[in-house]
């Protein structure tokens, strides 16, 4: 079986409080995850990978901040139809997988395919615990939270220490209900400590995209 399926908790078994989720900065609004969020656009079938911040609200809810890019665009479409959006929050994987989440690829690209290109082999995936084949998740992840971004539901989230070295403001953000947690035995949760030197590798794909765009116009 998939390594990330060695342990599993479903529905009423979910308790985020037992996970080692840190309050990263003194002024943070609560314990924070900095996950790679995976979703599948049900209309196009393409997978999107993004890097987000998520604050623990209670035992099975997170406040998720989305900048107005691809994940936000996909969810907005679902919300207009009154639908929740299935997502997976990947809390540890190969560094190349995280770099895809930091990149500026086009919404027309399937980012699972992009991840496979960077890894040099196809990304191994498995059916999610909560959504089956409707949402495939990375088989070799460390820990995955599966949940729904709820339509017409919001939560106070923040402040949070950002990569700029300053505290980002408290916001009204989107509410995620966690439906399942899967993990490797002894799986490690990877967190980003914003503005620290060791996390600047996440800027590499952004720099590459900017270089590509500048090269095209010069």
For the chain, how many residues are written? Answer: 218
| Sequence-separated (6 or more) residues with CB below 8 Å from residue 215 | none
Sign (positive or negative) of CA dihedral 42, 127, 86, 141: negative
Q: Which residues are catalytic?
A: 162
Distance CA 214, CA 58 (A): 45
Distance CA 15, CA 6 (A): 17
3-state secondary structure of 145: strand
140 CB-contact burial (10 Å; exposed 0-12 / middle 13-18 / buried 19+): middle
H or E, element range at 205 = helix 204-217
């Amino acid at each position: 079986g998939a390594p990330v399926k060695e342990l599993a908790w479903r529905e009423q078994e979910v308790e985020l409080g037992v996970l080692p989720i840190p309050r990263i900065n003194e002024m943070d609004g609560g314990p924070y995850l900095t996950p790679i969020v995976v979703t599948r656009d049900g209309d196009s079938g393409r997978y999107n990978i993004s890097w987000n911040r998520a604050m623990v609200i209670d035992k099975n809810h997170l406040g998720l901040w989305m900048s107005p890019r691809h994940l936000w665009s996909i969810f907005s479409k679902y919300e207009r139809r009154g639908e929740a959006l299935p997502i997976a929050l990947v809390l540890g994987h190969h560094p190349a997988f995280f770099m895809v989440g930091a990149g500026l690829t086009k919404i027309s690209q399937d980012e699972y395919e992009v991840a496979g290109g960077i890894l040099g082999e196809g990304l191994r995936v498995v059916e999610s615990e909560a959504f089956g084949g409707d949402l495939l998740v990375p088989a070799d992840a460390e820990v995955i939270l599966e949940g729904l971004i709820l339509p017409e539901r919001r939560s106070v989230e923040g402040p949070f220490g950002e990569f700029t070295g300053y505290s980002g403001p408290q916001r009204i953000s989107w509410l995620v209900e966690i439906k399942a947690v899967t993990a490797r035995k002894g799986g490690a949760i990877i967190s980003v400590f914003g503005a620290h030197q060791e996390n600047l590798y996440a800027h590499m794909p952004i720099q590459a995209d900017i270089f590509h765009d500048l090269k095209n116009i010069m």
